[in-house]
Amino acid sequence: MASTPARPRFAIVGAGVAGVLAAIKLREAGFDDIVVYEKADRLGGTWRDNTYPGIACDVPSHLYSYSFAPNPEWSHVFSPGAEIQRYFETVATAYDVDPLICFGEEVRSLRFDGNGWLVETDARRDRADFVIAATGVLHHPRYPDISGLDTFRGPCFHTARWDHDVRLEGARVGVIGTGSSGVQVIGAIANRVGRLVVFQRTAQWVLPAENPPISADDRARFRADVQAMQTLRAELNRGFVENFADAVVDAGSPILQRVEELCRANLEGTVADPDLRERLRPDYRAACKRLVVSPNYYESLCLPHVQVIDDPIASIEPAGVRTAGGDLHELDALVLATGFQIDRFLRPIDVTGTVGMRLDDVWSDGPVAYLSVSMPGFPNLFMLNGPNGPVGNFPLIDVAEMQCDYVLQLIDSALGRNAPVSATQEATDRFEAERIEATKRTIWVSGCRSWYLDHRGIPVAWPWPMARFREVMAAPDLRDYEYAE
Ligand code: N01
């Protein structure tokens, strides 16, 4: 390998939730030659990028925290995005991760040279024995392919690139998209704008969830008793994650029927106008798309100055959005809540593995990785929250923690043999075939369009219960790995 196995060098790509975690865990494991490349000027990943009004995480905050850094100060059950961002910055500082981060350095290429990795940014060339890619899942905004989009004369921006200089008060604002981001934005701005036009392509199931503040008494209790927070976390995990995670991978689950009942009651109980109610009624099963959670979405849509347009968008013009029926909806500002390109992962980094294998070629039909962490032909390159892992309404922090512990064991095995390690082709093919077969039982293929599905209609997610993920992440089966001796 590139350096002496006694002091291997690690390059972590991305200082988001998973990258900061990797740095902490590597340090804890005794490694000290670590660099984190971060293209932006601040850590935080998704929580740095997404600053739109109403942003919060719909996983309870006491669960959406590192297991080793519980936070007694969470203000709400589902705390706002800025507070989550502060949490990650505070943890990074507490664990002295900041000095490891090279801000403003985007990794352009990763090239395996037989021993280790050549890492190139605009500013430098580096070498590393191990690369940990923590580049995120929902990272690259997806801009809709709508004719005339660039002709709109007012401000127009994606939810993940919110323009805080634009005054929305009193303005005529359009929102395209009604996924989790759009729903949160709509709930937050409906009362500020002069007129809101919501362009809905597909109706959503919306699970109602209040977001109460955490009382000062409870925060004091959590401060005094860390164990109380751990107990709460375990309860939330059982009640909130494990049950739902197991349900979405079994389309026949009674839990999904219950979720659908709750969503239906939310619609029936909140939207009095029968025409609007029918236009908001989905024609597919709840949780087929990623389930949207909101305390006030339907209320917002019922306001007199809010209009839901389900006539398909035909084009965008300087003055606004024209729909297929010929109406022009005149707007001052346009928000694109149109989601993310979910197959990017490491890309656009130019990644070359053994014998000149380029990742773009290997992934020409979509990203594939063994257990979401390792790829044949790319030794000592590991991914956190990589392709086809548990995604959706689950805490990706927990997923990344399990993957990190797993990867540390692979690193140990590579160091033990003084040879770079990667999954075998055979294990990767077997895993992918089993995974695709298992997706057929999931709710995601029950008849809807969503970012869970790739261009072939195959879900890009872990299709088994979370317990199975926990089990396989406990220890690598080294028979499924090979070493570039
Ligand atoms: O994106 P999405 P998102 N014309 O892909 C519509 C996480 N997240 O940013 O349903 C018109 O879900 C599209 O319509 P359709 C979470 O995992 C979490 O909202 O495809 N419409 C859809 O309505 C989430 O799932 C939180 O027919 C177009 C919307 O745009 C993921 O991020 C908060 C269109 C895109 O929805 C992504 O959510 C925010 C077009 N050309 C995000 N193209 C929380 O924790 C797309 N659409 C709360």
DSSP state of 312: P
The residue nearest atom 41 of ligand 1, judged by CA position, is: 144
Q: What is the predicted pLDDT for the residue at 189? A: 98
DSSP string covering 24-66: HHHHHTT--EEEEEESSSSS-THHHH---TT-B-SS-TTTSS-
What CA–CA distance (Å, rounded) separates 159 from 175? 10
What CA–CA distance (Å, rounded) separates 222 from 66? 15
- Is the minimum distance from the CB of 182 to ligand 1 under 6 angstroms? yes
Say how many Å lie between the CA of residue 233 and the centre of ligand 1.
28
Q: What is the dihedral of CA 162, 165, 166, 168, to 10 degrees?
A: 90
Alpha carbon of 411 to those of 14, 209, 232, 380, 478: distances in Å? 19, 42, 33, 7, 12
Q: What is the predicted pLDDT for the residue at 394? A: 75
pLDDT above 90 for 4? no
- Is the minimum distance from the CB of 338 to ligand 1 under 6 angstroms? yes
Nearest CA among 181, 186, 184, 189 for reference residue 158: 181
Q: What is the predicted pLDDT for the residue at 3? A: 53
Q: What is the residue whose two structure tokens read 């317990």?
A: 467
What CA–CA distance (Å, rounded) separates 472 from 466? 10
Specify the pairing of strand 172-176 against strand 195-199: parallel
Say how many Å lie between the CA of residue 182 and the centre of ligand 1.
7
Q: Which helix (H) or strand (E) holds 335?
A: strand 333-336
What CA–CA distance (Å, rounded) separates 190 from 421? 52
The residue nearest atom 8 of ligand 1, judged by CA position, is: 180
DSSP string covering 166-210: S--BT-EEEEE--SHHHHHHHHHHTTTBSEEEEE-SS---EE---
Q: What is the predicted pLDDT for the residue at 355? A: 87
Q: What is the predicted pLDDT for the residue at 244? A: 87
- Is the minimum distance from the CB of 201 to ligand 1 under 6 angstroms? yes
What CA–CA distance (Å, rounded) separates 378 from 121? 19
What CA–CA distance (Å, rounded) separates 111 from 40? 22
Residue 450 near residue 289, CB atoms below 8 Å:
yes
Say how many Å lie between the CA of residue 226 and the centre of ligand 1.
36
Say how many Å lie between the CA of residue 427 and the centre of ligand 1.
33
- Is the minimum distance from the CB of 202 to ligand 1 under 6 angstroms? yes
Say how many Å lie between the CA of residue 324 and the centre of ligand 1.
21
The type of residue at 75 is S
The residue nearest atom 9 of ligand 1, judged by CA position, is: 339
Which two tokens mark 242?
């494990």
Count of other CB atoms within 10 angstroms of residue 145: 7
Say how many Å lie between the CA of residue 394 and the centre of ligand 1.
16
- Is the minimum distance from the CB of 177 to ligand 1 under 6 angstroms? yes
Which two tokens mark 277?
């109610």
- Arithmetic mean of pLDDT, 247-262: 95
Q: What is the dihedral of CA 168, 172, 177, 180, to 10 degrees?
A: 40
- Is the minimum distance from the CB of 313 to ligand 1 under 6 angstroms? yes
Say how many Å lie between the CA of residue 335 and the centre of ligand 1.
12
pLDDT above 90 for 283? yes
Q: What is the predicted pLDDT for the residue at 2? A: 52
Q: What is the predicted pLDDT for the residue at 140? A: 95
Nearest CA among 151, 191, 152 for reference residue 168: 191
The residue nearest atom 6 of ligand 1, judged by CA position, is: 177
Sheet containing 130-133: which strands, arranged edge to edge? Answer: 101-103, 33-38, 9-13, 130-133, 381-383
Specify the pairing of strand 140-141 against strand 156-158: unpaired
Nearest CA among 296, 271, 281 for reference residue 184: 296
Q: What is the residue whose two structure tokens read 């709750």?
A: 262
Half-sphere exposure of 395 (CA within 13 A, CB side): 23
Q: What is the mean pLDDT of the chain?
A: 96
- Is the minimum distance from the CB of 49 to ligand 1 under 6 angstroms? no
Say how many Å lie between the CA of residue 291 and the centre of ligand 1.
11
pLDDT above 80 for 485? no
What CA–CA distance (Å, rounded) separates 199 from 195? 13
What CA–CA distance (Å, rounded) separates 352 from 350? 7
| pLDDT single digits (tens) 161-184 | 999 999 999 999 999 999 999 999
Q: What is the residue whose two structure tokens read 């923690």?
A: 401
Q: Distance between terminal CA atoms of the chain?
A: 10
pTM given for the model = 0.96
H and E: helices and strands count for the chain: 14, 23
State which ligand 1 atom lies nearest to the alpha carbon of 338. Answer: 30
Lowest mean pLDDT among 48-57, 262-271, 372-381, 393-402: 393-402
Q: What is the predicted pLDDT for the residue at 205? A: 98
What CA–CA distance (Å, rounded) separates 406 from 168? 47
Say how many Å lie between the CA of residue 348 and the centre of ligand 1.
22
State which ligand 1 atom lies nearest to the alpha carbon of 180. Answer: 19
- Is the minimum distance from the CB of 414 to ligand 1 under 6 angstroms? no
State which ligand 1 atom lies nearest to the alpha carbon of 290. Answer: 25
Which two tokens mark 169?
């008060």
- Exposed, middle or buried by CB within 10 Å (0-12, 13-18, 19+), for 114? exposed
Say how many Å lie between the CA of residue 350 and the centre of ligand 1.
28
To test the ligand 1 pocket, which listed residue (290, 315, 396, 452) has its Cβ within 8 A of the most ligand atoms? Answer: 290
Q: Which helix (H) or strand (E) holds 119?
A: strand 117-121
Cβ neighbours for 168, distance < 8 A, ≥ 6 positions apart = 189, 192, 193, 333
**What pLDDT band is residue 241 in, cutting at 50, 70 and 90?**
confident
Say how many Å lie between the CA of residue 158 and the centre of ligand 1.
11
Please state, for a pLDDT cut of 70, what percent of the chain lies above it. Answer: 99
**What pLDDT band is residue 246 in, cutting at 50, 70 and 90?**
confident
Say how many Å lie between the CA of residue 382 and the centre of ligand 1.
28
Q: What's CA 469's distance to the chain center, in Å?
A: 18
- Is the minimum distance from the CB of 422 to ligand 1 under 6 angstroms? no
State which ligand 1 atom lies nearest to the alpha carbon of 146. Answer: 41
| pLDDT single digits (tens) 88-140 | 999 999 999 999 999 999 999 999 999 899 999 999 999 999 999 999 999 99
**What pLDDT band is residue 392 in, cutting at 50, 70 and 90?**
confident
Cβ neighbours for 428, distance < 8 A, ≥ 6 positions apart = 368, 369, 370, 375, 376
Which two tokens mark 275?
């025409």
To test the ligand 1 pocket, which listed residue (180, 241, 450) has its Cβ within 8 A of the most ligand atoms? Answer: 180
The residue nearest atom 26 of ligand 1, judged by CA position, is: 180
Say how many Å lie between the CA of residue 405 and the centre of ligand 1.
31
Q: What's CA 115's distance to the chain center, in Å?
A: 32
To test the ligand 1 pocket, which listed residue (50, 61, 175, 201) has its Cβ within 8 A of the most ligand atoms? Answer: 201
